[in-house]
Structure 1
Amino acid sequence: MKKEVLKNRKKMIYDMMSTKGYVPMRAREIAVLLQIPKGKRKELEEVLKALTDEGKIEVSKRGCYRKRKKDTERLETVTGVFTGHAKGFGFVELPGEGEEDIYIPEECTGGAFHKDEVEVALQNRSDGKRREGKVVKVLSHGISELVGTFERSNSFGFVRADNPKISRDIFIPGEKTMDAKTGQKVVVQICDYGNHKKSPEGRVTEILGSIGEAGIDVLSVARGYDIPMAFPEKVLRQADRCPEGLIPNDLNGRMDLRNWQMVTIDGEDAKDLDDAVSVVKNGEYFQLGVHIADVSNYVQGGSALDREALKRGTSVYLVDRVIPMLPQRLSNGICSLNQGEDRLALSCIMTIDNRGRVVESRIAESVICVDRRMTYTAVNRILTEKAPDLMKEYGDLVPMFFLMEELSGILRRNRSQRGAIDFEFPESKIILNKAGKPVEVRPYEQNTATRLIEDFMLLANETVAKTYCQREIPFLYRTHENPDMEKMEGVLTFVRSQGISVEKSSEEITPAEVQKILQQIEGTPQEPLISRLLLRSMKQAKYTTGCSGHFGLAARYYCHFTSPIRRYPDLQIHRIIKDDLRGRLKEEKIAYYAGILEDVARQASVTERRAEEAERETDKLKLAEYMLYHIGETFEGVISGVTGWGLYVELPNTIEGLVHISTLEGDYYVFDEQNYRLVGNITKREFTLGQRVRVRAADADVENKTIDFVLAGEEV
């Protein structure tokens, strides 16, 4: 190569690598970036060798080139949380809403572990692609223990983490194995996080059991999310000291509602009954009583019970068990509104007109006695079938049930008129046998009885929130912020392209405008598609100390008041309400609540997300296990997701699986991101959200919780 040509090529490559900073690249990547044809690749290698010999660039043992550090200008650095990937690379999530994640190539992770807080040097990109970077420093570790499968090797062992985001096995020295056997699920405490050359090291602290034992798979998921299982001895002792029934002083200063006709309405298997309801009608007005267990009478603020409840944040409802927020002695005992037993409650008593408006309300400490423990199934049969056997058995309560149905309809219409959004995507009801194996999967049933309880609880939550927000007392609210309009605008553009009118009177869309879209598509083939797109554009609800409303419910005021047995925010606001009712909300107390509620809101939101993820993961695990018994069978389903790697298809029983793009035969399919579809290059055949298709179960991977389908025959 001529000297002048060599000089020009060196400058071109060196300048390009300067923009890349510390990010290493293979020769073929450099060739692609500089559009060097295959016939010129040998010349490229000659240039790279010359630059290396001159000390301007360096080459790694893996044959990757980058500019030498001594010649690199200081790169911009940012701090964030590293999220690993099973294939070795990762992403760094930056603080601040709307910040794009940073892609970290495998050779640039710097030995970072999943959930580590890291400092990242950013590379400058001008090609419009996702930003890349390199971990230059691990600031702190976010995971101290993990759950995985033990594998013995001579005098030592390794643990393969259940979490696929932890790609490296954990080395366990022989003296730290607790004599675990190959195939057992274990909990490991990490002693050394290792680096890019050395494996992480840990010690086994608990053996959960062997793969295949009933319940071990679900237990492993729960422990993997660091969900507390057993209660500390001190907490249990404190719970044991709680009385089994009321004592005389409990009734002081309380409304005595024991002669009011009231019931609990729950699922057949519910044991912690924390809400009772009563309805009467006086002239044109309904009087609705929502009576909530007074858990705060037994769980004092700052006690061991209280600290443990805050740590847990919520009860966790896994596929085969409940991990409660409070010990069973409380949740199923004195705090449960059991039939025929006197119980302490906080009652929200509302007078409601025939348009569903609360014209008067009162919140009071009360003592109640539930007449009957009803189930959704029984109440639904009374209301929809007028089942003779049940009408006879619950004859004295039947008039109240029909009043409840009437009031529920009024409240629901009122919510609809103000624009509340009603997404109805069924959740999975997974039936297990005694061995913990899934034998049936079906959607959770929504019926008249479940809806009326939902309507009454929503109204009580709104009423309580309005009372305290208007008085500007420190409080906890349930907040659902307005959608991210950048995401929403993309959805609305697509909705308009489908011939559906979109009314948007201002920069941000209102709940009523979203509801109008849903009403237009109800019962149409487009309904599943557009409903899912609208839902995905919404933000997640969270707990806050500011009352900024609930977008989905179109509610100016909203909080969680009705479930103090299983949600800590409800328990917290019960304390505030009682202090208020008893005249204890003086300046010092107000300052106390103002000082703690931000932390409570943050903790409650974090533990709620943790519970939701654990519940979702155990459901996915059992759904994959269920499909193992149905490999080769054919089903009809609906396309519930379209991506660059394939189609997600949901079956009528809620099971969802992937049809990978590589299995779509007869054409090469391209992902049309704007229109949420895959389109064949030659045939122009389309696959889009909401489309009905026939699929065959091809594979199910329980370990990775995935289900694979292939298309079977023509579209439905």
Structure 2
Amino acid sequence: MPVKSNDIVKFIESRPGRPLSAREIAEGLRISPSQRKKFYRLLESMAADGQVARLKGDRYALPRQPTLVTGTVSVHRDGYGFVSPRDGQGPDVFVPARFLREIMHGDEVVVRVERGGRPGKPEGRIVSVEKRAHSTLIGLYEPGRKFGSVHPADPRLNQPVFVPEGQELGAQAGQVVLVAIDAYPNEFRNAEGHIVQVLGDPSDPAVEILSIIHKHGLPQEFPAEVLAEASLLPEDVQPGDLEQRKDLRDLPFVTIDGETAKDFDDAVCLRREEGGTCRLWVAIADVGHYVKEGSVLDQEAYLRGTSVYFPGQVIPMLPERLSNGICSLNPQVDRLTLVAEMVFDAKARRQDSCFYPAVIRSRARLTYTEVHEMVEKQLAETIERYGELHPMLTEMLALSEDLTAMRRQRGSLDFDLPEAEIILGVRGEPENIIKAERNKAHRLIEEFMLAANEAVAFFLGQRDIPLLYRVHEPPDIAKLQAFQQFIAFFNYGLNLEAQGVDPRALQELLAQVEGKPEERTINQVLLRSMKQAFYSPENLGHFGLAADHYCHFTSPIRRYPDLQVHRVLRQALQSGGLPESQKKGLADALPEMGEHTSRTERRAMEAEREIVELKKCQFMAERVGEQYAGYITGVQPFGLFVELKEFFVEGLVHLTTLSDDFYTYEEDRHRLVGQYRRRIFQVGNEVEVQVKNVSVERREIDFVLVDLAVNPADSQEPPKGRRPQRKSKKR
């Protein structure tokens, strides 16, 4: 019987140890001498067709199957990129710049891994684009003869978009524009498009905000049909709304928020009872009563996923008629809520909890500052203004501190990473940048919200009701090992086990570094070692909070997952609970909802972070040449990060400006050491810096050390008779 190509493939496949000669294959398949010529011709034909690979020495093997990875490409401003696998499994694949001509940052692509590169660092080339990330781009318009061009504001989008004559919509040179892409780049040409909106002068604060909104694809104005549906909602609670609700209007609920807050979705009340127990009520705006599932309002809220907060501006998830009106727990008016009522013993352990719809009437709209003045500073004037509330607030502070101690005891991580507060002028320009103050009033509200979230998640989880959990997986052991090596330089230890780390060990470490010069750096490095929290129908626990059950329940005005939790909680409280058919429908819908809301959350965080960096750069751009005191917050092979004492701003002292010596980066100790004069730069060192340059476009601030500012910035001349060396050094 004549041999077939499949027989040859199966035989080679059965001998995976080494390539085989033609004779070995023939003998293994028992090819008779009379059939050898046909066999050899078939083998040659298979090699020509690529079914088998002919190797050196006329040996044959199966062709190596290329490894294909599907994921999202991140392009560096210098042109090269990395593809992050879609499933999160495996390392990122490096893609050289020459293979990214047809690709734009953020595209979903298929990459073929062609060689391993360094161990664990695969390298490849992109073979196809699965999904384009951009249909429009924000950039600066530059006119030309026959073609104008738009240069993207995002430096990772490092190719201009050509705009044919007649498609520029009257844009002038240097203006910020929104360009729609008509043709994506290929091997022979750049992307082409037409301008759909001229935003204006890039120095206009309003234009800057619009640019970031467009860049991140954030929604702006609400569609007319959404506003029309919102306009039909009442401005006040109606008598019919009170049916089947507990009346808690006699309880002294209060809201506690920042000075500039306009939407209040949580109110709290506390009563000390016999035996040292505390009864805490956390009332959350009953948004689901007004935003019906499947309505136009609901669809728009789901699309947005979350509110986005910029300095002096908010892009709300819900129209103002709801977020600042009927759903906001404003003082001295009736409001509909869902309440988590919890009882804690003297050690802040939750003994009981129940949940129900209610109507409340907030006694006061308090600020963090006012509560701080009453319970910490004991300011008589503020106490007199809110005299009847002062005893309750004092009891609230005591419970919150006990809750904090209880959480820390079980291993909950509290990162001390202060945020920047941008003080804006009348035109939206930054007038000052300070470290946002955090006091015990902030902690008080945070603890109560955490307690309510945890209680709701436990209640629903025990009843096997599908919901979106807020999950945070334990960190990878490899990242923990790197963190362990990092803190060893600061003389701190961390015990690791095969399965990872006990969060209580990390909490103990954070307590040890509190108040030390290296505190912020260690907090930042540990945070980067953690995985990102996300929404999931699977209860994976919350490592950072050391909680077995956790969800988001307390902010339905600004987060869609909270609204979903409200809905299932209401259904679970009804007689009979959720039928199995409804549970199955929820279980089918929640995975996509979790992925979508996690994406919108990340989008909002990136936009909020960028606007803060923009404002910092604008603020420092007016201060080029000025000198400030600061301290080193980070050391990298390319330079030093320095935070100013006067303003909450960080900039880079580039290695090339350290012109008094040749500096070696000691990776294990995270410091730079001069080779000849032995000057050392490490975290916590106080330095004097001069603002050298600010790039608003790249969001970069460059400093130079004052004692080296007179030296050439782009060269290092070694002491006479010494040969220059420049390398990183591992010890």
TM-score, normalisation: structure 1? 0.87
Cross-structure match for 1:622: 615
Distance 1:671 1:97, change over 3 A: farther
* Paired AA for residue 138 in structure 1: V
Distance 1:358 1:198, change over 3 A: same
Q: Distance in 2 between matches of 1:154 and 1:312?
A: 41
* Paired AA for residue 328 in structure 1: E
Helix, strand or coil at the partner of 1:119: strand
Q: Distance in 2 between matches of 1:190 and 1:336?
A: 41
Cross-structure match for 2:698: 704
* Paired AA for residue 144 in structure 1: S
Q: Which range moves more in the overlay, 475-484 or 207-216?
A: 207-216
2:481 is the counterpart of 1:489: yes
Distance 1:258 1:657, change over 3 A: same
- Tell me which of 490, 507, 510 is aligned to 1:515: 507
Cross-structure match for 2:213: 222
CA contact (8 A) 1:110 1:136 kept: no
- Tell me which of 230, 242, 245 is aligned to 1:254: 245
Q: Distance in 1 between matches of 2:216 and 2:305?
A: 14
Structure 2 counterparts to residues 299-338 of structure 1, below 5 A: 299-338=291-330
Q: Distance in 1 between matches of 2:284 and 2:74?
A: 41
Distance 1:108 1:502, change over 3 A: closer
Cross-structure match for 2:123: 132
Helix, strand or coil at the partner of 2:653: strand
2:459 is the counterpart of 1:471: no
Q: Distance in 2 between matches of 1:693 and 1:375?
A: 37
Cross-structure match for 2:651: 657
Q: How much does 1:154 deviate?
A: 4.2
CA contact (8 A) 2:416 2:520 kept: no
Q: How much does 1:682 deviate?
A: 2.8
Q: How much does 1:497 deviate?
A: 4.7
Distance 1:129 1:544, change over 3 A: closer
- Cα-to-partner distance string for 1:600-646 (whole Å, 9 max, x where unaligned): 11111101100000001111011011111222222232322222221
- Tell me which of 261, 270, 278 is aligned to 1:279: 270
- Cα-to-partner distance string for 1:677-710 (whole Å, 9 max, x where unaligned): 2232333433233433332211111111110011
- Tell me which of 539, 549, 553 is aligned to 2:541: 549
Q: How much does 1:77 deviate?
A: 3.7
* Paired AA for residue 585 in structure 1: L
Q: How much does 1:594 deviate?
A: 1.0
- Tell me which of 236, 246, 263 is aligned to 2:254: 263
CA contact (8 A) 1:110 1:134 kept: no
RMSD of aligned Cα (Å): 1.9
CA contact (8 A) 2:417 2:520 kept: no
CA contact (8 A) 2:517 2:683 kept: no
Structure 2 counterparts to residues 582-661 of structure 1, below 5 A: 582-583=574-575, 584-652=577-645, 653-661=647-655
Q: Which range moves more in the overlay, 242-251 or 177-186?
A: 177-186
Helix, strand or coil at the partner of 2:337: strand
Q: Which ranges in structure 1 are unaligned for 5 or more consecutive residues?
A: 1-71
| Same amino acid, percent of matched pairs | 42
Q: Distance in 1 between matches of 2:485 and 2:79?
A: 37
Q: How much does 1:450 deviate?
A: 1.2
Q: Which range moves more in the overlay, 299-308 or 575-584?
A: 575-584
Structure 2 counterparts to residues 116-131 of structure 1, below 5 A: 116-125=107-116, 128=119, 130-131=121-122
Q: How much does 1:125 deviate?
A: 4.2
* Paired AA for residue 631 in structure 1: V
Cross-structure match for 2:671: 677
CA contact (8 A) 1:82 1:90 kept: yes
Q: How much does 1:249 deviate?
A: 1.7
CA contact (8 A) 1:669 1:678 kept: yes
Q: Distance in 2 between matches of 1:156 and 1:127?
A: 43
CA contact (8 A) 1:158 1:170 kept: yes
- Cα-to-partner distance string for 1:271-328 (whole Å, 9 max, x where unaligned): 1110000011111111110000000011111111111111111000012310000011
Helix, strand or coil at the partner of 2:343: strand
Helix, strand or coil at the partner of 2:689: strand
- Tell me which of 687, 693, 696 is aligned to 2:687: 693
Q: How much does 1:713 deviate?
A: 3.6
Q: Which ranges in structure 2 are unaligned for 5 or more consecutive residues?
A: 1-62, 709-731
Q: Distance in 2 between matches of 1:223 and 1:92?
A: 24
Q: How much does 1:73 deviate?
A: 7.9
Q: How much does 1:661 deviate?
A: 0.9
Structure 2 counterparts to residues 366-445 of structure 1, below 5 A: 366-445=358-437
Q: Which range moves more in the overlay, 102-111 or 72-81?
A: 72-81
* Paired AA for residue 487 in structure 1: K
- Tell me which of 192, 203, 212 is aligned to 2:183: 192
Cross-structure match for 2:38: none
2:202 is the counterpart of 1:236: no
2:371 is the counterpart of 1:362: no
Q: Distance in 2 between matches of 1:422 and 1:237?
A: 43
Q: Distance in 1 between matches of 2:118 and 2:472?
A: 36
- Counting matched residue pairs gives 643
- Tell me which of 92, 100, 113 is aligned to 1:109: 100
Helix, strand or coil at the partner of 2:552: coil
* Paired AA for residue 387 in structure 1: L
Cross-structure match for 2:159: 168
Q: Distance in 1 between matches of 2:586 and 2:65?
A: 46
Q: How much does 1:546 deviate?
A: 1.6
Q: Which range moves more in the overlay, 181-190 or 129-138?
A: 129-138
Q: How much does 1:565 deviate?
A: 0.3
Distance 1:581 1:622, change over 3 A: same
